[in-house]
Chains A and B, each alone.
Chain A
Amino acid sequence: MAAANAMRSLIAARPAPPRTAGSLSWLRRNLFADWKNTLATLLVVAVLVDWLPFVIEWGIVDAVLRPDNAACRALEHAAACWGVIAEKYRLILFGRFPFAEQWRPLVGMVMMVGLLAVSCLPRMWNRWLPVAWVVLFTCFFVLMRGGFAGLSFVETAQWGGLPLTLLLSTLGLGAAFPLSILIALGRRSHLPAVRAFCIGYVELIRGIPLISVLFMASFMFPLFMPPGKTPDVLLRVFVGITLFAAAYLAEAIRGGLQAIPKGQFEAADSLGLTYWQAQRKVVLPQALRMVIPSIMNSFISTFKDTSLVTIVSLYDLTGSLGLALNGDANWRQFYFEGYLFIGLIYWIGCFSMSRYSQWIERRLAADAV
């Protein structure tokens, strides 16, 4: 009886819903959803069909990989001459550092990248991490400078290439980050002198191009020093980059501080936390988390801006490439391949930072719900 009732009340079958699984359906939804979408897809495909074979031929099939100058010249730029990289990679990567001693920057660089990777993991963020970095930088300097135990002395003006780029970036940002926190806090201070100084600092530095800061650090700084007391060129450039990056970072961090509700400060005050305790345990952890994308933006800029040190005769990765090619008439013409190579190195660095930023943002957000 119940079954009969159920039979009578059955609803007529409706057409099946459109398939949403499978690759055909994915194509339809994402590439051919409507006529505009389809047109865009077809245009992209047309460009790819036109260009991809050329890129593959130019870059891979016809390219010369051996450091064979005659073969490369014979190509007449119809295909890539990766031979220039094979021939010059030591000069590009390590600059003017003495050829036989280049294992030293290599070891230093590997240590640095290793510690950098370790530092990326939140569970390594404890009081030992800064100590590890101080030890690392000390080892790096001792190893690079040499002048003991049979290691020849290499002055800082001869350091170059990728290790120099990494050194200036990590050391510069490592120093700029704490400095920028102080400046950002200072800009919100109740003490008029502190506030005025921090505002003046940020507005002054942001108003000057980095290239001028580097020039001033490199050429003007020594003029104010007693004769014979010129600080090291690397030190001068490091100070310039740090001061410059700190101004931009401070503004990014101030954005985060501004977004912390007043109630958080009041709660910290009412619990008896001192100013510094409140900043350190309550305000900064929340503020910094909020501005991770802006901070990473500054980091990426600074990493690439280190290439400007070439103008004060320090040969970082970009500078070393110029050094490697300009001095050799046989290989000079293959600068395009050279720039692609260092472009790739920069891109790997920047893309890693970008991905890391997204990961750490999700990771830290997951902690607070």
Chain B
Amino acid sequence: MSDVIISFAKVNKWFGQFHVLRDIDLDVARGERIVICGPSGSGKSTLIRCINRLEEHQEGHLSVDGVELTDDVKAIEKVRREVGMVFQQFNLFPHLTVLENLTLAPTWVGKMPKKEAEERAMAQLERVRIAEQARKYPLQLSGGQQQRVAIARSLCLTPKIMLFDEPTSALDPEMIKEVLDVMIDLAGQGITMLCVTHEMGFARSVADRVIFMDQGQIIEQNSPTEFFANPRSDRTRDFLSKILSH
């Protein structure tokens, strides 16, 4: 199974008494694009945050690109270099310019010479169509622009896997499209993507698989066509009827 890049085996996690992930079994193939949806509190963000160890699981096994995630700091560092993440609140560094936000990790983590890091950063900014803002500070940009910068930043270390944690939820409606367009571009380039989102149009057009979670469990997973046309469980049907009703 060399084409499996992420593998969850009986993963369990609790926040105090709250059982947030229950017996998660999930294999993600290299290059696969997965959309994860579900009601709030269902554990979908926690699931992807376990992949780069922003959250630690307490039971079961989780390995990413052949590295098992444990308390081993070296393993965690190795995994984080392979995995990029985009957050709902962008989390850009406000004291650094856009360009400095992008070059920080390549120069310090990747030990890349400054000039090379800047060239690579500019290329990423071109890719998200925002190169002209390179010298500005994040708070001088609109939400959509900031999120595109955040995507470019996470691409600078050329990750094999990209995680998106509700990337458009904090955006004004007219800015959602510019971010989705960038994500669709990215999806066409063979990178493994896991995206927590309620943008069902995005799921339909780019996902290989849609996963529905509720109460810490994976309830249902299927190709988008099947998932939307023939949801198998009542909970999925109920959820879809709520978010697709308008």
**A interface residues with partner B (beta carbon < 8 Å):** 261, 263-264, 266-267, 269-274, 277, 281-282, 285-286, 289, 367-369
Chain B residues near A266 (CB-CB < 8 A) = 54, 87, 91
Number of A-B contacts (CB under 8 A): 66
Question: Are B52 and A281 interface neighbours, CB within 8 A?
Answer: no
Partner of A271, one of B53, B95, B139, B153: B153
Q: Which A residues are in CB contact (< 8 Å) with B87?
A: 263, 266-267
- C-alpha spacing A273/B109, complex, angstroms: 6
Contact of B95 (CB < 8 Å), options: A272, A273, A286: A286
Report yes or no: A273 in contact with B85, Cβ–Cβ below 8 A. no
Write the nearest CB–CB distance from A217 to chain B, whole angstroms.
38
On chain A, the residues within 8 Å of B131 by CB distance are: none
Q: Which of B77, B89, B95 contacts A285 (CB 8 A)?
A: B95
With A264-B93, A272-B80, A285-B95 known, 8 other A-B pairs at CB within 8 A are A263-B87, A267-B85, A269-B54, A269-B80, A272-B77, A281-B104, A286-B95, A368-B94
A263, A270, A272, A368: the one contacting B89 at CB < 8 Å is A263
* Cβ–Cβ contact A368 & B95, under 8 A: yes
Indicate if B157 sits at the interface (CB-CB under 8 A): yes
Given known pairs A264-B93, A282-B93, the reply for A271 and B105 (CB within 8 Å) is yes
B140 in the interface (beta carbon within 8 A)? yes
Chain B positions near chain A (C-beta within 8 angstroms): 52-54, 77, 80-81, 83-85, 87, 89, 91-95, 104-105, 108-109, 137, 139-140, 153-154, 157
Which residues of B sit under 8 angstroms from A272, Cβ to Cβ? Answer: 77, 80-81, 105, 109, 157
**Residues in chain A near residue B108, CB distance under 8 A:** 273, 277, 281
Complexed CA–CA distance, A270 and B51 (Å) = 10
Inter-subunit contact A267/B91 (CB<8 Å): yes
Q: Are B94 and A273 in contact (CB under 8 A)?
A: no
* B83, B84, B91 pick with most chain A CB within 10 angstroms: B91
Closest chain A CB from B75 CB (angstroms): 12
Contact sample, A vs B, 15 pairs, CB 8 Å cutoff: A263-B91, A264-B93, A266-B54, A266-B87, A267-B87, A267-B91, A270-B154, A271-B157, A273-B104, A277-B108, A281-B108, A289-B95, A368-B137, A368-B139, A369-B137
Q: Please, which residue of chain A has its CB at the minimum distance from the CB of B82?
A: A272
Across the two chains, which residue of chain A brings its CB closest to B87?
A: A263
**A367 contacts across to B, CB distance below 8 A:** 95, 137
A286 to B220, CA, bound (A): 43
Q: Is the CB of A267 within 8 A of B93?
A: yes
Interface centre among A261, A271, A286 (most CB of B within 10 A): A271
**Contact assessment for B54 and A274 in the assembled complex, using a CB-CB cutoff below 8 Å:** no
Are B85 and A270 closer than 8 Å at their CB atoms? yes
In the bound assembly, the distance between CA atoms of A277 and B106 in angstroms comes to 12
User: Within the complex, what minimum Cβ distance (angstroms) separates A29 from chain B?
Assistant: 35
Residues of the B chain whose Cβ atoms lie less than 8 Å from the Cβ of A273: 104-105, 108-109
* Contact partners of A281 in chain B: CB under 8 A: 104, 108
Contact A271 B154 (CB under 8 A): yes
- Report the separation of the CA atoms of residues A285 and B109 in the bound assembly, to the nearest whole angstrom: 18
Which residue on chain B has the smallest CB distance to residue A269? B54
The residues of B that contact A269 with a CB separation of less than 8 Å are 52-54, 80
CA of A285 to CA of B54, assembled, Å: 23
